[in-house]
Amino acid sequence: MRLVELRRAAAVLMGVAALAAMAAEPRHTTRNDLVGAWHLVRIDVQGPTGSEVDPFYGSSSEGLLIYDRDGWFSVQIMSAPRPALEVPGARPAAPGGPEAAAKEGALDSYYAYYGTWTFDAATSTVTHRATGALYPSESRASYTQQVRVDGNRMTFTRSSGTAPHRIVQTKTWERVRPTAASKS
């Protein structure tokens, strides 16, 4: 009888050890994990001297990223503060005018592009291929980033430069919860 109890205890311990080992292994992100709408939580930049403000997006950024199942995406990011600028009734015929500085500030504080996306499960990278962009020269551009999804959080990591001038940018996104209108 004692041997049976020992075998049961050993089986329970082995099961607990197997569950602990599975929990310790990082979960692999899948393509389906990316599908949906995400809002920007923060952008972190680590440079040669430590934490830095992102040179492109600035601080206090917010944004929305949408991936659909068919391989299309759209991303929009804006930084604060944004200039006050009224929506015109029509586009001006000529550049310049009294609102030129505010329009420049609006452009400098907003970023958007859209296109197609692919996911490489082996390297856990997502590639955005721009079809259209706020900056016309970015149309047809391609951007690849490491991606990891943990629960309702998605993290992009992109590095540039080499030591000692290496810069690592991390964007953290959180899944957008469906609204009451989208459930009906």
Q: What is the 3-state secondary structure (H, E, C) of 24-68?
A: HCCCCCCHHHHCEEEEEEEEEEEECCEEECECCCECCEEEEEEEC
Question: pLDDT-based confidence at 127, cuts 50/70/90?
Answer: very high
Please give the Cα distance from 31 to 118 (Å, whole number).
8
User: Which pLDDT score is estimated for 39?
Assistant: 97
- What are the pLDDT digits (tens) for 70-118? 999 999 999 888 878 777 788 776 677 777 777 788 888 899 999 999 9
The encoded tokens of residue 73 equal: 């995406």
Please give the Cα distance from 142 to 150 (Å, whole number).
25
Residue bearing tokens 């992100």 = 29
- For the segment 13-19, the average pLDDT, to the nearest whole number, is 48
The percent of residues above 90 in pLDDT, for the chain, comes to 52
Stated pTM of the model: 0.77
Amino acid at the residue 134: L
* pLDDT at position 136 over 80: yes
Domain ranges of the chain: 34-176
User: Which pLDDT score is estimated for 19?
Assistant: 47
- Select from 3.40.190.290, 2.40.30.10, 2.40.128.280, 3.30.70.360 the CATH code of 34-176: 2.40.128.280
- 88 contacts 102 by C-beta, under 8 angstroms: no
Instruction: List Cβ<8 Å contacts ≥24 apart for 55-59.
Output: 56/111, 57/111, 58/109
Question: pLDDT-based confidence at 124, cuts 50/70/90?
Answer: very high
* pLDDT at position 16 over 60: no
Question: pLDDT-based confidence at 3, cuts 50/70/90?
Answer: low
The DSSP output letter for 136 is G
- What are the pLDDT digits (tens) for 31-53? 999 999 999 999 999 998 889 88
